[in-house]
Structure 1
Amino acid sequence: MTAWHLRDFEPEDLEAAVLLDQRSTTTSESPVFAMADVVAALNGRHPAVVAVVGGGLVGSAVSRIEVDRAWVVRLALDPQWRDQGLGSALLSALEHRLTMLGVRKVRALLPANETGSQAFVNSGFVRRDGLTLFEKTETVTAQTATLLQDLGGSIPAAGLWEAVAGMQAEKSLIERRIVLPLSQPEQAHGHGVQPPRAVMLFGPPGTGKTTFAKAVASRLAWPFVELFPSRLATTDGGLPAGIRLAFDQLSRLERVVVFIDEIEEIAAAREGGTSSSIGVVNELLKSLVAFRDEPGRLLVCATNSVRSLDSAFMRHGRFDFVLPVGPPDEEARMAMWAHHLRSAQSSEVDVRALSLASDGLTPADIAHAARTVAQEVFECSIDSGQRCRGTTDDYLRVIGATRPTVTQQMRADFLDDITTASRL
Structure 2
Amino acid sequence: MNVLVLNCGSSSLKYQLIDMNTQEVLCSGLVERIGDPMGKIAHKSFPGSDKQKAVSSEEAFPDHGAALKAANVLISSNPETKVVSAVSDIAAIGHRVLHAGTVYREPVVIDTDVKATIRKFFILGPLHNPPQLIGIEAAEVLYPGVPQVAVFDTAFHATIPDYAATYAIPYSYYTELGVRRYGFHGTSHWYVAKKTASVIGKPFDKTSCITVHLGNGCSMDAVKNGVCVDTSMGLTPLQGLMMGTRSGDIDASIYAFLAKNKGMSVEEIDNLLNKQSGLKGICGMNDMRDIHAARAKGDKMAQLAVEMFCYRVKQYIGAYLAALDGCDAIAFTAGIGENDTDVRQMVCEGLGSVGVKIDKDRNYGFKRGEVCKISSDDSPVAVYVIPTNEELEIATQTVSVVASK
Range into which the TM-score falls when normalised by the shorter chain: under 0.3
**Structure with more strand by fraction:** 2
With normalisation by structure 2, the TM-score equals 0.21
Question: Normalising to structure 1: TM-score of the pair?
Answer: 0.20
Q: If you compute each CA radius of gyration, which structure gives the higher value, 1 or 2?
A: 1
Higher helix share: 1
